[in-house]
Amino acid sequence: MRALGDFLVLALAFSGAWGGSLKGTRIVGGPMSEWGDFPMMVAVLTRPLIGRSELLCGGTIINDNHILTSASCVTDHSALGLKVMGAGLDLLGSAGYEEFKNIQQVFIHESYDPTTKQNDIAVLRTSHNFVFVHDLIEPTVLPADDTEPASGAFASVAGWGMDEVRLYML
């Protein structure tokens, strides 16, 4: 079922039906981020005993030691097998500003359904607090409980995904 879902997403992206028809309006083919564009964004990575880390998905800093991510990304991993990187623009961590934090505990939504992806949400607790630096690493700003976005408001989407569309035969 996962492969079919991946194919559907790839097909929608390829057709331009997912995220708009202009190349600059899609995540795939969208512009590269600059320093400070998304200081609340982290990369959720594997932490293998041997070899290099691999990207699992993105996450959002909620506070100094909690990350919001999707359950489907971390459900097959223990806390000891995960880490996050903040303040990075590439997955190599080559700029020197990045903060890497090991994961102490994984909280997966109690009603998460891996088949339907319903309640696909998880919170990661880091082993050490992030050091917040303006425009590099900051928690996300959540709206007040009674605040709704204005009609026609714009939103930004960021991720660590592909930089081009690839069509795979299943």
Report CA torsion sign: 68, 72, 73, 75: positive
- Residue by residue, what is the 3-state secondary structure of the chain? CHHHHHHHHHHHHHHCCCCCCCHHHCCCCCCCCCCCCCCCEEEEEECCCCCCCCEEEEEEEEECCEEEECHHHHCCCCHHHEEEEECCCCCCCCCCCCEEEEEEEEEECCCCCCCCCCCCCEEEEECCCCCCECCCECCCCCCCCCCCCCCCCCCCCCCCCCCCCCCCCC
Domain annotation covers residue 131: no
Can you give the pLDDT at residue 46?
92
Domain annotation covers residue 165: no
CATH of the domain at 92: 2.40.10.10
Q: What is the mean pLDDT of each run of 10 residues along the chain (170 residues)?
A: 34 31 49 82 90 89 95 93 87 78 96 94 96 91 78 79 51
- Residues 109 and 37 placed together within one structural domain of the fold: yes
Can you give the pLDDT at residue 153?
83
- Residues 117 and 41 placed together within one structural domain of the fold: yes
Can you give the pLDDT at residue 36?
81
Domain annotation covers residue 41: yes
- Residues 8 and 59 placed together within one structural domain of the fold: no
Can you give the pLDDT at residue 161?
62
Can you give the pLDDT at residue 119?
94
Can you give the pLDDT at residue 29?
66
Domain annotation covers residue 162: no
Question: How many angstroms separate the CA atoms of 13 and 42, rounded?
Answer: 23
Question: How many angstroms separate the CA atoms of 122 and 80, rounded?
Answer: 16
- Residues 81 and 100 placed together within one structural domain of the fold: yes
Domain annotation covers residue 10: yes
Q: Which domain holds residue 4?
A: 1-25
Give the chain's domain count: 2
* pTM recorded for the entire structure: 0.75
How far the first Cα of the chain sits from its last, in Å, is: 12
- Residues 1 and 45 placed together within one structural domain of the fold: no
Domain annotation covers residue 159: no
- Residues 72 and 91 placed together within one structural domain of the fold: yes
- Residues 14 and 80 placed together within one structural domain of the fold: no
Domain annotation covers residue 149: no
- Residues 113 and 47 placed together within one structural domain of the fold: yes
Domain annotation covers residue 3: yes
- Residues 1 and 62 placed together within one structural domain of the fold: no
